[in-house]
A and B are shown apart, each in its own frame.
Chain A
């Protein structure tokens, strides 16, 4: 079955540490997105990529970095510059105007 796989499901980060969240899709979608969700908040766009080797900053890109070397993969790195990284991270993909398919999410906690 086609879908989006995010890993790990839970991730713990120590102060000053960079961590990378994986997102892989086999839907043949061109566009991929990273969102952050905090309790009681809407989804906030971190980065997006509409084509391989190109990506754009979203509304809250500071402290995050991404790459898009393959159509199927769009990993997100949470750097030490992100001072409040504890959140639920969601990866999504789409072909265009048809709406998003989301992965199952990664819950990141600072310890």
Chain B
């Protein structure tokens, strides 16, 4: 059984701070890693994907992958109240490309 674990939160950070969201996974053969943002009552939106060890930056977002530790994280710099949402981690192995989703971490950015 492939598992993806996330702290459910909520993670509360002040506006302008760095929010750090973490995710661990059980399948060592995993190859593709995704972060989705889901606002309350809305559908998930893909914000980051990462496939190799190290950091990947896109604007205020940085995804970090460490396959040896089976760990992927998402950093949000200069957090804004509009970043308040649930962040879903998803992990897939090769072949079917069907990811396993974590339950998500709720992020609250307060002014």
* A interface list, Cβ under 8 A from B: 31, 33, 40-43, 45, 48, 50, 90, 94, 96-105
Contacts and interface: CB of A to CB of B under 8 A. Distances in A.
B97 A42 contact: no
Contacts of B49: 98-99
Interface stretch (B52-60, B67-75, B101-109): B101-109
Interface of B: 4, 8, 31-32, 34, 36, 42-46, 49, 51, 88, 90, 92, 94, 96-99, 101-104
Contacts of A48: 98
B46 to A, nearest CB: 4
B98 A104 contact: no
A31 B95 CA distance: 13
Contacts of B103: 40-42
B42 A105 contact: yes
A100 B44 CA distance: 9
A42 B8 CA distance: 11
A103 B4 CA distance: 23
A97 B32 contact: yes
A102 B43 contact: yes
28 contacts: A31-B97, A33-B98, A41-B103, A42-B101, A42-B102, A42-B103, A43-B44, A43-B88, A45-B98, A48-B98, A50-B96, A90-B43, A90-B44, A96-B97, A97-B31, A97-B51, A97-B92, A97-B97, A99-B34, A99-B46, A99-B49, A99-B90, A100-B46, A100-B99, A101-B46, A102-B45, A103-B43, A104-B42
